Amino acid sequence: MDSEKAFLASYRLSDYERPSVTADVAAFRIGNEDSPSYRKNPENKLQLLLIRRGGHPFKGMWALPGGFLQKGETLEQCALREIREETNVLPVSIMPVGVFSEPDRDPRGWIISGAYVSIISEESVRQIGQDDADDAQWFSVSFDGGGQNVFSLTLTHGSTVLSAKLAEESPGFGRPRFRILDSGRLAFDHAAIIASALSVLRAEAKNYEAIFDFLPETFTLSALQRVQETIMNISVLPANFRRMVSGYVEETDEYQRGNGHRPAKLYRRRTQHPV
Amino acid sequence: MDSEKAFLASYRLSDYERPSVTADVAAFRIGNEDSPSYRKNPENKLQLLLIRRGGHPFKGMWALPGGFLQKGETLEQCALREIREETNVLPVSIMPVGVFSEPDRDPRGWIISGAYVSIISEESVRQIGQDDADDAQWFSVSFDGGGQNVFSLTLTHGSTVLSAKLAEESPGFGRPRFRILDSGRLAFDHAAIIASALSVLRAEAKNYEAIFDFLPETFTLSALQRVQETIMNISVLPANFRRMVSGYVEETDEYQRGNGHRPAKLYRRRTQHPV
DNA sequence: CAAATAGTGTCTCTAAGACAATATCAC
DNA sequence: GTGATATTGTCTTAGAGACACTATTTG
């Protein structure tokens, strides 16, 4: 016992060389497009928060929000703190994506990054309002596997279009990894991180678990359906969607009226799943 | 351009405090039990490689193999190197489990760990033979959710029994995390890492992808079935298992004879999945 | 009324589970 | 023949997809 105390007292971690560690966060929200007709429901778009880098390296290019892990916090807490500092919102959900540790991924030196997906709800987005600076913006996401293992990732904000190309490595094994063919003017290896984050988000959206976090506490089933369709880039028949989520939601007494069609009952998430 | 060069030249990462980073590996194999009758197939057991710690802290206790990330390698390469140093075998598969970064998880100081699952094939295990030292041993694994969110993890090697209790946190969201209720004489937070690793392995075994890596290149379908049943702790009717893996395997011309029953055709993994 | 979404019921098809039946070896 | 696994075929059932039909609102 005493020998262990003595050992720990004399132990010096500084004998080993250590990397710097950062957490990077891919924060997604569902953005609304204005509808063409007054009675049509809004079209949804999956959007990603990017920050324009003010300093070197990659100055002026777009990057994921993130920052260095500080003593006394976990990597998850670091990710939450960073997204909070950028959006002034504590996300409902945060999910790990993976560790990115290529030795040359950061020109500043030996810096490895733990990546996370976070989900920003519609309510939170409204609270944020428009950021005063133009260095943090929501980009509309398009991510499609053209053919085989090659994916193209396109991020659009106004006239700014970032277009990256990636190859999926060892498909079908654990979490997918991507190799960057063209970084599309994204900083660091963030194109690969975003691609992995999208894969995680899509896989999670399949289980009707993460999708609730994009919406306010009460929502219509068609809004919920649009969220899932937007994330996964699929389309489902409303009748079937209702049947499939029926176990995850419960009715409220409220209705959403005032659109040019039949009012929709508002639902809330059911915490206790049924058999 | 020049300003970026100048910036990088003067940049000092050492201004920030940095953690040490390790990779820990949960290496699994399928161990054979002797069969009670000459014609019965062997019973399989999922086994995990543990190392008895020779030094402080946790001296004499059992821990996952692992070690410090070195400059110039990725965390995956570090994990592969560590398992190679312990078993003299390069595993077929390695999958990320998560980052463990509680500030007080290591009494030596600020050390975070990236955890991986690796799979050691039967062929490789045979090559290793018996390790000369008794400080690396394969433990039989039992991992069962008693009730609700409480799981008990029991590792057995001969008369050594390590029995840990864990609580699953935020179930159903991304990768499961476990809180240690009783570490069962495992070093550090390795009980939680092992529980997470088992969850990842079980999820992966469902997709008929990881399970091939436990076996030699050719195998009988019942051996493959036993692997999946062993990992997931389930039992499937042979007829149904055959139907479900039929798309992932292809026949060879070889048969496995010499047991007290009908010879079994040997199969190999099919790389190109059918429609 | 027209346009649009909300919501229900039901048919079909497929994949998984259950089970029965046959095949083939070593002893 | 006996005891075991190997292998095939089929019945049943649960769940997803397709689709038809009704309900309700606002301009």
CATH number at residue A253: 1.10.10.10
Task: Scan residues 4-33 of A and list those with Cβ closer than 8 Å to B.
Answer: 4, 7-8, 11, 13, 16-21
The single residue listed with the structure tokens 């990236």 is: B114
Predicted confidence at residue B176, as pLDDT, reads 85
Give tens-digit pLDDT for A98-134: 999 999 999 999 999 999 999 999 777 665 655 555 6
Determine the structural domain holding residue B140 and report its residue range.
20-206
Nucleotide nearest to B35 (CA to C1'): D4
Mean pLDDT of B163-174: 82
Residue A14: inside a domain: no
Q: A18 to chain B: which residues are within 8 Å by CB?
A: 18-21
Predicted pLDDT at B131: 53
Q: How wide is the angle at C-alpha B118 spanned by C-alphas B71 and B241, nearest 5°? A: 155
3-state DSSP assignment of residue A268:
strand
Nucleotide C6 C1' to residue A149 CA (A):
40
Lowest mean per-residue pLDDT among A175-179, A213-217, B96-100, B196-200:
A175-179
Cβ neighbours of A8 in B, within 8 Å: 56-57, 107-108
Report d(CA A50, CA A197) in Å as an integer: 14
Distance (Å) from the alpha carbon of B220 to chain A's nearest alpha carbon: 23
Find out whether A227 and A211 touch, Cβ atoms under 8 Å: yes
Please tell me whether residue B19 adopts helix, strand or coil conformation.
coil
Sheet of A264-269, strand order: A218-220, A264-269, A249-256
Position with higher pLDDT, A245 vs B8: A245
pLDDT digits (tens, 9 = 90+) for B19-71: 999 999 999 999 987 777 888 888 899 999 999 998 889 999 999 999 999 99
Q: What is the mean pLDDT of chain A?
A: 89
* B175–A74 C-beta distance less than 8 A: no
The nearest CA of chain B is from the CA of A93 a distance in Å of 9
Predicted confidence band at A4 (pLDDT cuts at 50, 70, 90)? confident
- Give residue B68's Cα distance to chain centre: 19
Q: Is residue A275 part of a domain?
A: no
Return the SS3 of B230: helix
d(CA A25, CA A95): 10
Indicate whether B144 and B254 sit together in one domain: no
- What pLDDT digit, counting tens, does each position of B143-160 carry? 998 777 899 999 999 999
User: Quick check: B254 and B34 in contact, CB under 8 A?
Assistant: no
Domain end (from B206, B236, B260):
B206
Q: Which of A57, A69, A112 sits opposite B8 (nearest CB)?
A: A57
> Measured between CB atoms, does B75 come within 8 Å of chain A?
yes
Verify whether the Cβ–Cβ distance B4 to A56 is below 8 Å: yes
Is A41 within a domain? yes
pLDDT of residue B37: 80
CA–CA separation, B267 and A25 (whole Å): 44
**Nearest CA distance, A105 vs chain B (angstrom):** 10
Count of the separate structural domains present in chain B: 2
Q: Both A190 and A109 in a single domain?
A: yes
Q: Gap from B205 CA to C27 C1', in Å?
A: 37
Residues of A in contact with B108 (CB under 8 A): 8, 11, 13
Q: What is the pLDDT of residue A167?
A: 95
pLDDT bucket at A15, cuts 50 / 70 / 90: low
Cβ of A173 and B71 within 8 Å?
Answer: no
Let me know whether B160 and B219 are in one domain.
Answer: no
What's this model's pTM, rounded to 2 decimal places? Answer: 0.93
**Within this chain, do residues A92 and A173 fall inside the same structural domain, yes or no?**
yes
pLDDT confidence of residue A37? 78
Q: Look at the block and give the residue holding tokens 């980009």.
A: A139
DSSP E strands, A34-174: 43-52, 62-63, 66-68, 93-100, 111-119, 136-147, 150-157, 160-169
According to DSSP H, which parts of A61-163 are helical?
75-87, 122-128
Are A188 and A129 members of one domain?
Answer: yes
Same domain, B168 and B114: yes
* Domain harbouring A151, CATH code: 3.90.79.10
Alpha-carbon distance B28 to A208, whole Å?
Answer: 32
Following DSSP, what letter does each residue of B134-161 receive, concatenated? SSEEEEEEEEEEEETTEEEEEEEETTEE
Instruction: Give the bridge partners for B100, in sequence order.
Output: B113
Residue A155 forms part of a structural domain: yes
List Cα–Cα distances, B37 to A200, B42, B44, in angstroms.
47, 9, 15
B30 and B143 share one domain = yes
In this structure, the answer to whether residues B201 and B218 fall within a common structural domain is no
Looking at residue B127, its pLDDT comes to 59
Kindly indicate the confidence band of residue B99, based on its pLDDT and cuts at 50, 70 and 90: very high
User: Do A239 and A175 share a structural domain?
Assistant: no
* A206, A229, A249 - which closes a domain: A206
Rounded Cα distance between B50 and B3, Å, is 51
Q: Is B120 domain-assigned?
A: yes
Same domain, B219 and B158: no
pLDDT at B87: 81
Residue A201 lies in a domain: yes
Domain boundary among B175, B206, B237: B206
> Which residue from B60, B253, B208, B213 is spatially nearest to B125, judged by alpha carbons?
B213
> Does B104 share its domain with B221?
no
One domain, residues A263 and A183: no
Among the residues of A150-275, which ranges form H helices?
Answer: 190-205, 221-232, 238-245
Residue B106 resides in a domain: yes
pLDDT for residue A13 is more than 80: no
